[in-house]
Amino acid sequence: MKGKIIGLGEILWDMLPQGKQLGGAPANFAYHVCRLGGDGWAVSSICDDELGGEIKDVLNKKGLNAILEEVEQPTGTVQVSLDAAGVPTYTIMEDVAWDNIPFTDRIMSLARESSAVCFGTLAQRSAISRETIWKFIKSMPEDSLKVYDINLRQHYFDKELICANLEISDILKINDDELEIVSTMLGIEGSQVERCRAVIAQFGLRFIILTKGSKGSDVITMEKVHSIVPEKITIADTVGAGDSFTAAFIISYLKGEPIEKCHTLAGKISSYVCTKAGAMPEYDNHILSQL
């Protein structure tokens, strides 16, 4: 597996009930890529403020490679509340640093060295970051992997944006609630599998990863469906679990493993992350031995 694997978009502080934790789906993805042995990089923006300095310190301690361009807007924060099952609800601050990611020469150079990128919808709520994400993807090698982890949040999306992202993607990762939204937008009906296959056909995707919370997940191609159900665990919180799932799946997929093996590994990793607090937990010896 050659080339850098990029999490492109928001980096921020999740303000959890027990204290702040570094987060943002692309940064979480890059962190777990690194923990799983890949050359993971986070690409985003911060401010030269206290929270931005703390992000740098945490990334250094965690050994996560990053290009964090400094801008005038404040470093991003998200207020996170958890329900009784540990499921998060987000209040996302606007016009923050990651809304203003500039497309710099070093970001362009990184794009040209990348084997895969994972990007979402949220960081594209602003024109500046949206343009940078698109320029980054266009600068990547033609055979690189583009993973659209859709991550619909609040009102920060529309049909035009979603369709444009699907057009440039190879793989879509989506949860069951998001599938309902996208299906309605596109006028697609039928079972979950039928709707996913309609999206695959319309946009030329390789496959769709459909996550369903406690019901597990499916990887859907035009020919088959592979399903897993998560093991019973004690959940600390689910913050970052989906990002760890994506990282584990893509790492394995880039190594040429069959979809079934990629999917099984992703399920194990995301279950492990659910037993830990925060989006970027350390990996203990037990989980490392399974890898």
> In this structure, are strands 207-211 and 217-220 parallel, antiparallel, or unpaired?
antiparallel
In tens, the pLDDT along 197-247 reads 999 999 999 999 999 988 999 999 999 999 999 888 777 777 778 999 999
Instruction: Give yes or no for residue 285 having a pLDDT over 80.
Output: no
Distance CA 248, CA 268 (A): 9
For residue 80, what pLDDT is reported? Answer: 77
CB-CB contact of 118 with 26 (8 Å):
yes
Amino acid found at 112:
R
Query: What is residue 213's DSSP assignment?
Result: G
User: CATH says 4-290 is which class?
Assistant: alpha beta
Provide the β-strand partners of residue 19: 16
The verdict on pTM exceeding 0.85 is yes
DSSP string, 263-289: HHHHHHHHHHHHTSSSSSPPPPHHHHH
Q: What are phi and psi of 225, to 5 degrees?
A: -130, 130
Report the phi/psi class of residue 269: left, alpha or beta, with left for phi > 0 and alpha for psi in -120 to 50.
alpha
Instruction: Give yes or no for residue 290 having a pLDDT over 70.
Output: no
Non-local (6+) Cβ contacts of 143 within 8 A are none
> In this structure, are strands 114-119 and 40-47 parallel, antiparallel, or unpaired?
unpaired
- Domain spans in the chain, listed from the N-terminal domain onward: 4-290
Burial of 143 (C-beta count, 10 Å sphere; 0-12/13-18/19+): exposed
Rounded mean pLDDT of the chain?
Answer: 92
CB-CB contact of 205 with 171 (8 Å):
yes
Percentage of the chain with pLDDT > 90? Answer: 76
Non-local (6+) Cβ contacts of 24 within 8 A are 9, 10, 11, 12, 44, 76, 98
Q: Which helix (H) or strand (E) holds 105?
A: helix 105-112
In tens, the pLDDT along 91-119 reads 888 999 999 999 999 999 999 999 999 99
For residue 291, what pLDDT is reported? Answer: 64
> Angle 241-254/259-274 helices, nearest 10 degrees?
150
Give me Rg for the CA atoms of the chain: 18
CB-CB contact of 168 with 146 (8 Å):
yes
